Amino acid sequence: MVGGFWALPQLVQTPGAPTLFITNAAPGWATLWWTPATGTNWVLQERLSLSAGTWTNSPSGPINPVTVPAALPTKFYRLFKP
């Protein structure tokens, strides 16, 4: 916990996309993965807020699974099929 709030990344499920999951990894890290793992052409995207901002491709792109920092600022992640 950071400042009384969880600083873990948050997932946003995209309708029709593979199911996106999150789990704790090493201290300060979280692992994101999706099933089916063979889902093709899906790219992990991120942004800092659900109410404002643009979704951008995560540096990991289509890599599955991916480990990301679980630190502030909190990030939101989704799968996107270009």
What pLDDT, on a 0 to 100 scale, did the predictor assign at position 17? 79
In this predicted model, what pLDDT tens digit does every residue of 2-40 receive, in sequence order? 444 445 566 677 777 788 888 888 888 888 888 876 556
In this predicted model, what pLDDT tens digit does every residue of 50-80 receive, in sequence order? 888 899 998 887 778 888 888 878 888 888 8
d(CA 47, CA 76): 5
What pLDDT, on a 0 to 100 scale, did the predictor assign at position 43? 85
Amino acid at 71: A
For the segment(s) 10-80, the CATH number from 2.60.40, 1.25.10, 2.115.10, 3.30.420 is 2.60.40
Domain definitions of the chain by residue range? 10-80
Residues 6+ apart with CB under 8 A from 43: 57, 58, 61, 62, 79, 80, 81, 82
